[in-house]
Amino acid sequence: MIRRLIYADMCRWWAWWLLAAAVAVRGEDVTYDGRSLIIDGQRKLLFSGSIHYPRSTPDMWPSLIRKAKEGGLHVIQTYTFWNLHEPQPGQYDFSGSKDIVRFVKEIQAQGLYACLRIGPYIEAEWTYGGFPFWLHDVPGIVFRSDNEPFKLYMQNYTAKIVNMMKSEGLYASQGGPIILSQIENEYQNIEAAFGEKGPSYVRWAAEMAVGLETGVPWDMCKQDDAPDPVINACNGMKCGEINFAPNSPNKPAIWTENWTSFIQVYGTNATLRSAEDIAYHVALFIARKNGSYINYYMYHGGTNFGRTAASFIITGYYDQAPLDEYGLLREPKYGHLKELHAAIKMCSQILLSGTPNNFSLGQSQQAYVFRGDSGACAAFLINSDGKQSAVVQFQNSSYELPRKSISILPDCKTVVFNTAKVNTQSNTRSMQPALKFDSAGQWEEFKEQVVEFDDTTIRADTLLEHMNTTKDVSDYLWYTLSLQQDSSDPKSAISVKSLGHVLHIFVNGELVGSAHGAFRNSSFTLESTVSLNEGMNNISLLSATVGLPDSGPYLEHSTLGPHKVTIEGSEGSQDLSNNSWGYQVGLLGEKLQIYTTKGSNVVQWKEFSSAQPLVWYKTFFDEPEGNDPLALNLGSMGKGEVWVNGQSIGRYWVSFRTLAGIPSQTWYNVPRSFLKPTGNLLILFEEEHGNPCNITLDTVSITSVCGHVTDSNPPFQIPWKRYARRPKVQLNCPPNRNISKILFASFGRPFGDCSAYAVGSCHSSNSRAIVEEACIGKRKCSISQSYKRFGGDPCPGIPKSLLVDVQCG
């Protein structure tokens, strides 16, 4: 009997397994109409987020995708990176963080869809827009044009990616997660520059992509003339406001880049985009444009490891995204958008199938209503006035709309979400030193030699263009010249005009001047007074790029580096531009790979002496305990690059300050997957005069969370629950941390918000005691904003709020 039961259970298990396997491999038909993408016959309203696989590490991918899913996303969107995958023609690399198949399979394993933006031009603030530099040297090539050499290599790469996805069964038509692909990227921005070759290229690219027969739709973003059946998509911050529409009534309104922050370049501050503004424009796109696919660019930005960042782009990428550079939740952005997604989900079916209608509720107020045949109804009440709130009448009820906000009513009655009312907590990220490299005895140095004319093997009677000479194998190019002087001159003036990005001048081995350009203004002139000796003088120019340009027409014609050198002194004015110049690509330390364990053993390191330019620094360290992310504090350094166990964590440029005098980026991500328990090799190349003895390795964590609610901010509401719910502060520390201290608590009328606060004229004196009792020692706690909870009304007749800030320890 027992044996028969076991056998029956096994049969049922095998039947279930076979059914599950059949479902897993069964392809899903992906089509579209004028309302949405249609997957397996069902309309879908999809929220998507950009996570770029090479800007994080493979060990981070599962956590990032899981958090995206928990945040209410349905799709993970990524570019592909041609220069990573095909560093030389026909030589492909899909290893490590370049393993796109593994990344897409992880998306599938967590039950999400994928959107593959193949490009292969991507921009993405990625060096050379994703193009491998060898493409520049193909005879007769014109990038992104109806040009046969370019189309050949573009088609080869695109087919390579598509066929690889097909071979792994990763398209939805094969049972995989990929439901949408993109060809080209924002081409309309430059299309006119190519004349008739522009539109014909667009048509070719669309036909080529569709001809690869992926079984899923293709899109082109910012391409109003995207040929059928390719969908034209919107990019930007305000796709619900701008003049965007599908170019066919049979295509859905999709938004491939809703910028969650702004790119940051060296010399600028981070510019924030609020959670409220993002939510407003998402809701507006859905209501006004019948939008059915919204992608957040970026949902997790990550890190521009190595030399992958484009011109002047900092190493940390979109750190202000819902998931920050280290993969931590950025609150309230993450939580507010999560509630938005849940609110939209409540009425997604009526939004996709109902009849839309809109009408005015006031001078700057509108209602967008979707009604179904069965009586189902959903409404978006919009106040587009950015200065004043408004009270509107809708279906015989009054609704208060804060300024620049949208209220969502999934049943046309109950407000479950307002884009301007943030109920989720805010959090604070802190860096705490785990290791200090503050002893000179910890550091060793290797001095990079200044290259002179006689050291070089590349010669030319002109100033060579920087990028075409280095071929992007290094940021650095030495320009060297021997100059004969009949007599000494202590006050000669040298002038170098450069197209960018950075230049250091050495005369007879001594640094005499440095200068650099800036983002979108890379050209500069460096002038310096120098002392020339009688006889032969060695002039050495070290030109450096900070990433290659990533956008614009005719990218292959971009030029960088010195283009005119003159010197004026006792022997008159001399234009040295067409003298005999010697060149060396890269640095000696790069050639010897002294940033690796093997390479570091081939040079003679010396004890650290003092901060100098053009110096390599070396030390070793053990991995700090715990699981918190790690970052190097390089606030004491100037400009250069960092390697950990031979892997570059990116460029740093701390000396390029903002107008406020602070670095654009101080902390640089050190993934724990780069480390081993002990004996980790840390190498820095410092161009300027940075002092390594003030470097620290810091842990990165969320150290405090704060909640602020008012009488008018009820918590997320389920529409069929008609009873009023009291506003409440809900606090949630990260895993393995509990609330250890109450930093602030006030029930009444506290001044400010979670960024800056103080007790106001109305304050319940027992606020701190009540919160301490509810929260201390717990990871999570919830405090209702109620008179009963706080022992009475501290100021009758006045609207109240509750603000609580706690420390997570």
3-state secondary structure at position 519: coil
- Max CA pair span of the chain: 111
Is 106 tagged catalytic?
A: no
* Six token digits for residue 133: 């530099």
DSSP state of 272: P
CB 603 within 8 A of CB 446: yes
Please report, for residues 31, 218, 301, 459, the alpha-carbon distance to residue 214 in angstroms, rounded to integers and kept in the order given. Answer: 12, 9, 28, 50
* Other beta carbons within 10 Å of 137: 11
**String of DSSP letters for 605-625:** -EE--S--SSEEEEEEEPPPS
Measured CA to CA, the distance from residue 377 to residue 437 in angstroms comes to 63
* 130 phi, psi to nearest 5 deg: 95, -10
**String of DSSP letters for 385-452:** -SS--EEEEETTEEEEE-SSEEEEETTSS---EETT---SPEEEEEEEEEEE---GGG-EEEEPPPP-
Closest to 476 in 3D by CA, of 463, 467, 487: 467
- Per-position b or e across 281-319, b if 16+ CB within 10 A of its CB: bbbbbbbbbbbbbbbbbbbbbbbbbbbbbbbbbbbbbbb
DSSP state of 194: G
Using omega within 30 degrees of 0 as the cis cutoff, is the peptide bond preceding 719 cis? no
Measured CA to CA, the distance from residue 87 to residue 423 in angstroms comes to 48
* Other beta carbons within 10 Å of 418: 27
* Six token digits for residue 149: 């050499």
* Six token digits for residue 265: 């370049």
CB 458 within 8 A of CB 576: no
Is 257 tagged catalytic?
A: yes
Amino acid (1-letter code) at residue 632: L
Residues, the chain, total? 809
**String of DSSP letters for 697-752:** EEEEEEEEEEEEEETT-PPP--TT--S----EEEEEPPTT--EEEEEEEEEE--EE
First to last CA, the chain: 57
Element (H, E) at 51: strand 46-51
CB 76 within 8 A of CB 32: no
CB 204 within 8 A of CB 241: no
Identify the active-site residue in 86, 186, 452, 686: 186
Three state DSSP letters for 671-706: CHHHCCCCCEEEEEEECCCCCHHHCEEEEEEEEEEE
* Six token digits for residue 688: 């300027």
- Per-position b or e across 216-227, b if 16+ CB within 10 A of its CB: bbbbbbbbebbb
* Burial status of residue 76 (CB atoms within 10 A of its CB: 0-12, 13-18, 19 or more): buried
3-state secondary structure at position 409: strand
Measured CA to CA, the distance from residue 401 to residue 383 in angstroms comes to 6
Strands (E), 94-173: 113-119
Identify the active-site residue in 86, 106, 125, 257: 257
CB 631 within 8 A of CB 670: yes
Name 805's bridge partners: 706, 744
Catalytic residue numbers?
A: 186, 257
